[in-house]
Amino acid sequence: MRLKDKVAIITGSANGIGLEAARRFAGEGASVVMADFDKEKGKERERELQKDGYDVIFIQVNVADRSSVDSLMDRVKEEFGRIDILVNNAGITRDAMLSKMTVEQFQQVIDVNLTGVFHCAQAVLPAMKEQAKGKIINTSSVTGTYGNVGQTNYAAAKAGLIGMTKTWAKELGRKGINVNAVAPGFTETGMVAEVPEKVIDQMVGQVPMQRLGRPEDIANAYLYLASDESDYVNGHVLHVDGGIMM
């Protein structure tokens, strides 16, 4: 049990990578708070995982709204008395070429994917400082490292997360709080499912391992960074991308 008696908050966990991470963390002994904007799907996933014997609860949150985030943290602290792990997994896309991207499309992605991470990390700090220990894991992307056509907003947010991760690692390491990031490559999620098959074939062709990532590949990276095994890992960006960044 690598996370026995730990309390973990995973944002964006009603689907995809976040859902798999919730299942993986709970299976390793953690009490998991599934935080997501989609209340209907979140409650459905909560029931499914609880039926399978996992210690999970769902709490609705809008990470782009600071009052919503503060309410989430207060509820978790009241319910469990501590917060050991925060996985900032929530994210959205609003793809468009630069010439056609609206201000609203740009800002929506920045609000959720970048500012939302700031809100969650800052709001969780009091609990982690009180414990003198904690793990914050931010979800970046290979897109934040090398860019991607049609994703000005997404690339900007994910690149910004790398800078924030390294800054927070320097600020918080002395407090006993590790801050790291995971940078997934092309992964089989709901977002990718909407991509035309021809484009997916092109994506796979760029990956040395000749396959897309699976949610469990990313969840396993989260698990390592959340566990005590990574206590001396700080400020690192772990690429889980099949080698595409080589």
Per-residue pLDDT of 213-235, as tens digits, reads 999 999 999 999 999 999 999 99
pLDDT given at position 244: 87
Percent of the chain with pLDDT over 70: 99
pLDDT given at position 189: 83
pLDDT of residue 111 exceeding 90: yes
pLDDT of residue 202 exceeding 90: no
Active site residues: 154
Percent of the chain with pLDDT over 90: 90
Domain boundaries, the chain: 7-240
How far is Cα 38 from Cα 15, in angstroms, rounded to an integer?
9
Fold of the domain built from segment(s) 7-240? Rossmann fold (3.40.50)
pLDDT of residue 193 exceeding 80: no
The pTM of this model reads 0.96
Per-residue pLDDT of 152-189, as tens digits, reads 999 999 999 999 999 999 999 999 999 999 999 989 88
For the residues 113-135, what does the mean pLDDT come to?
98
Q: What average pLDDT does the chain have?
A: 96
pLDDT of residue 11 exceeding 80: yes
For the beta carbon of residue 241, count every other beta carbon within 10 angstroms: 24
| Token pair for 74 | 């207060």
For the residues 136-162, what does the mean pLDDT come to?
97
For the beta carbon of residue 126, count every other beta carbon within 10 angstroms: 12
pLDDT given at position 203: 82
| Token pair for 114 | 């970048």
In three-state form (DSSP H/G/I as H, E/B as E, the rest C), the secondary structure along the chain is CCCCCCEEEEECCCCHHHHHHHHHHHHCCCEEEEEECCHHHHHHHHHHHHHCCCCEEEEECCCCCHHHHHHHHHHHHHHHCCCCEEEECCCCCCCECCCCCCHHHHHHHHHHHHHHHHHHHHHHHHHHHHHCCEEEEEECCCHHHHCCCCEHHHHHHHHHHHHHHHHHHHHHHHHCEEEEEEEECCECCHHHHCCCHHHHHHHHHCCCCCCCECHHHHHHHHHHHHCHHHCCCCCCEEEECCCCCC
Contacts of 152 (CB under 8 A, 6+ apart): 96, 98, 101, 106
Please indicate whether residue 207 or residue 103 has the higher confidence score (pLDDT): 103
pLDDT of residue 195 exceeding 80: no
pLDDT of residue 30 exceeding 90: yes
